[in-house]
Amino acid sequence: MGRRLRFSAKAGAQEGYSSEEEAALVSDAGDREEFSWVSVILPFLFPALGGLLFGYDIGATSGATISLQSPELSGTNWYNLSAVQLGLVVSGSLYGALLGCSIVYPIADFLGRRRELIIAAVLYLLGGLITAYAPELGVLLAGRLLYGLGIGLAMHGAPLYIAETCPSQIRGTLVSLKELFIVLGILLGYFVGSFQINIVGGWRYMFGVSAPIALLMGLGMWSLPPSPRWLLLRAVQGKGSMQEYKERAISALSKLRGRPAGDKESERQIEGTLISLKSAYKEQESEGSFLEVFQGPSLKAFVIGGGLVLFQQITGQPSVLYYAGSILQSAGFSAASDATRVSVIIGLFKLVMTWIAVLKVDDLGRRPLLIGGVSGIAVSLLLLSAYYKFLGGYPLVAVASLLLYVGCYQISFGPISWLMVSEIFPLRTRGRGISLAVLTNFGSNAIVTFAFSPLKELLGAENLFLVFGVIAFLSLLFVVLYVPETKGLSLEEIESKILK
């Protein structure tokens, strides 16, 4: 194995290797490693359930809002919700997610990815159970807020755990598949809604089905080791014994790869990762502040990334997903069961289009998919407005418009906004910039979702979708004028060529 690294626990400085040996170790750590697909399934699956539970909430809420407001199906005496109360029920989890993102950012490195996801699973479980058994509206809203806190933690911790524990050569695939799990969750929520829609109190089952999935997620994360990279980060930060953290990291990596405890290959990888991480941590010590995000190249990056995630929401996306069942009912599918079944078709179509986007984004590029997809979003919203104005006798127009909207969203704003957010920020302000983009996303999502029902009541569906259509055309103009093509560029090239 050669000489071992010797560390100062306080400073984290390594000794004992020449610069050539250090370079070899770092190179080995970044090389394509041998692995078994069986060994990477569980470290991917259990964190990805956090994304599935987020998507499930979107799909289940679509049917639950129909059931909850029905005099015959609600099973409560408080079913007659006002537009504001309905908006709070639907958007409650999003406000919780916004709060969760705000809380977890400064303490994420203290908690670690594994503990963060365990806490998220507990919040999912409590939120789902409280919502399912809620005796009154106030308790229901409290459950929605708790569930949302779980969303905020899971959406932060899951991609980090997956990226830090999986082999480097399949990192992009697995992180993309995590996004696909969100769509699978939406589809599952639509399915459960379609089966429970005619049962008295069916909304309780729709929300409650999340509880066993959350329990599985929590038990699964409990069985997994901490992220080896997080353990090394704690060592480099001087948070404990360097040797102890290093040994725990070797043990964690061995377990993740299905190797014997103390495996020599794992040890060599950990030593190489530790060298590169120490160098990276020196750069992090000079990380830019929040104010620096609004200056120079970082401001340009925030306009691009923040603008994409903002337009992603204010073109009506959360409303179309959360209120799909209600929209279909008003479009002519008067029976609740008919509306929820068509929602399932929309969910399946969304899944297919997401898969196409994952496969094609590196071939076709970001800008062509954004321009084509956002154009389709604008057309679909204008069609929905036209349906409510003068095409009411043709319910298939509403279904076709929803399918066009979902398909175009899934090949444009859906995957590409977050891909570009991860690419566009300079290294110095990347952490702060991404954090602000996440807050922008959940904040605008919550506002649009809450406002949809009151605005629909105030303006009428035809005028509300017309407003969304106008915003979509503005977002298309934004993409054409401000969003660059980053296909084939390294992160360093994006910083030097696009942001200068």
Quick: pLDDT tens for 438-476: 788 888 888 887 787 788 888 887 898 899 999 999 999
For the cut 60, the answer to whether the pLDDT of residue 66 exceeds it is: yes
The pLDDT of 422-433, averaged and rounded, is: 69
Give the Cα separation of 271 and 267 in Å (integer).
Answer: 6
Q: Report the pLDDT value the prediction gives residue 311, as an integer from 0 to 100.
A: 93
Cross-strand partners of 14: 7
- Please identify which residue in the block is written with the tokens 């599918």: 333
What are 316-327's pLDDT values in tens digits? 776 676 666 666
Which alpha helices (H) appear in 285-394, and where do they start and end?
A: 296-314, 317-322, 324-330, 336-364, 366-390
Q: Residue 256: what pLDDT?
A: 76
Q: How far apart are CA 439 and CA 191, in angstroms?
A: 30
Q: Is the pLDDT of residue 490 over 50?
A: yes
Do 454 and 87 contact (CB within 8 A), yes or no? yes
Q: Is the model's pLDDT at 115 over the cut of 80? A: yes
Mean of pLDDT values over 259-286:
57
How far apart (Å, rounded) are the C-alpha atoms in residues 423 and 350? 25
Higher pLDDT, 150 or 191: 150
Give 15's strand partners.
6
Looking at the chain, how many residues does it have? Answer: 500
Average pLDDT over residues 372-376: 95
Per-residue confidence (pLDDT) for residue 374, from 0 to 100 = 95
Instruction: Tell me if residue 79 falls in helix, strand or coil.
Output: coil
The radius of gyration computed from the CA coordinates of the chain, to the nearest angstrom, equals 24
> What domains, with CATH codes, occur in the chain?
35-224 (1.20.1250.20), 289-500 (1.20.1250.20)
Whether 158 has a pLDDT exceeding 50, the answer reads yes
Report, as an integer, the average pLDDT of 378-392. Answer: 87
69-105: pLDDT as tens digits: 988 888 889 888 888 898 889 888 988 998 988 888 7
pLDDT > 90? residue 162? no
Q: How much is the mean pLDDT over the chain? A: 79
pTM: 0.74
Q: What is the pLDDT of residue 349?
A: 84
Residues 6+ away with beta carbon under 8 Å from 433: 293, 298, 301, 302, 305, 421, 425, 426
pLDDT of residue 109: 72
Per-residue pLDDT, 449: 76
Q: What does the pLDDT look like over 279-307, one tens digit per residue?
A: 544 544 444 556 777 777 788 888 998 89
Instruction: Check residues 337 and 118 and name the one with the higher pLDDT.
Output: 118
